[in-house]
């Protein structure tokens, strides 16, 4: 489903993974926000709107629906809706959990070959820190994921992560709680510095108008710590 490589011609310049009349998928760089906040830093939604406005010579405001988010330090594929119909239909898939997200991560330590992680998480909005709490705690939400270890060497593991729920900082907190913090994730226990080794690798969903199942993938960018492992990722 990948088109000829194309970019937004913005600053930063963002790779376009897929585009049609209803959808736009991009490969988010590290450090870029998903949407605008008070810091004024570059964000995916504003940059993608600027691309559409210029590319198609659109007057006035451009409609673009933000369907899901990635943390600022996390890279990878994000899907946006170019029409309200697409936004509504994809949002429904997200609510029903038929919208599948797969991530690549490098964690400290050697994980078991595969597993399921289930925790209850609580977010402190004031500090933007998420912690594991007991079931029944105030505002606690169930977080669940499955993982497969793809490689292990030099005290690190490359894992493929499939989210069952979508909670803030979920992957980062859950692996840290199990004693396997993500490479570079100092907020959640990593002793290594540098970018966080977490990349949103693929999305699988039903196209909002064609109704066929689509899987879109985005490779880690050149400076990604996920490239610590040279083994080619499978799609």
Tell me how far apart the alpha carbons of residues 146 and 114 are, in angstroms, rounded to a whole number: 7
pLDDT at position 227 is 87
Boundaries of every domain in the chain: 6-223
Q: Which residues of the chain have pLDDT under 50?
A: 2-3, 234-235
pLDDT at position 7 is 96
Percent of the chain with pLDDT over 70: 96
Render pLDDT for 34-82 as a digit per residue (tens, 0 to 9). 999 988 899 999 999 999 999 999 988 999 999 999 999 999 999 999 9
Percent of the chain with pLDDT over 90: 86
Q: Is pTM beyond 0.95 here?
A: no
Q: At 129, list the tokens.
A: 């820190």
Give Cβ neighbours of residue 61 (< 8 Å, ≥ 6 apart).
none
DSSP string, 129-144: EEEEE-TT-TT-EEEE
pLDDT at position 230 is 66
pLDDT at position 81 is 98
pLDDT at position 35 is 94
| Cα distances (angstroms) measured from residue 218 to each of 50, 107, 116, 195 | 22, 20, 24, 18
CATH class as words, domain 6-223: alpha beta
pLDDT at position 233 is 52
pLDDT at position 5 is 79
């Amino acid at each position: 489903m990948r088109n000829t490589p194309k970019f937004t011609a913005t600053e930063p310049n963002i790779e376009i993974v897929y585009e049609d009349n209803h959808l736009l998928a991009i490969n988010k760089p590290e450090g870029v926000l998903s949407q605008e906040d008070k810091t004024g830093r570059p964000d995916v939604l504003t940059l993608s709107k600027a691309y559409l406005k210029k590319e198609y010579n659109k007057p006035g405001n451009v409609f673009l629906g933000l369907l899901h988010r990635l943390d600022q330090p996390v890279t990878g594929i994000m899907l946006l809706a170019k029409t309200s119909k697409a936004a509504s239909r994809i949002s429904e898939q997200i609510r029903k959990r038929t919208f599948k997200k797969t991530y690549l991560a490098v964690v400290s330590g050697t994980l078991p070959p595969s597993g399921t992680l289930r925790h209850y998480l609580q977010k402190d909005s004031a500090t933007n820190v998420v912690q594991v709490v007991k079931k029944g705690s105030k505002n606690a939400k169930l977080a669940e994921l499955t993982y497969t270890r793809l490689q292990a060497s030099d005290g690190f593991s490359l894992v493929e992560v499939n989210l069952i729920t979508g909670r803030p900082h979920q992957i980062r907190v859950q692996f840290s709680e199990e004693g396997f913090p993500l490479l570079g994730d100092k907020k959640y226990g990593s002793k290594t510095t540098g970018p966080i080794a977490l990349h949103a690798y693929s999305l699988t969903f039903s196209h909002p108008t064609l109704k066929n199942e689509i899987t879109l993938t985005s490779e880690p960018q050149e400076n990604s710590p996920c490239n610590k492992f040279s083994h080619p990722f499978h799609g």
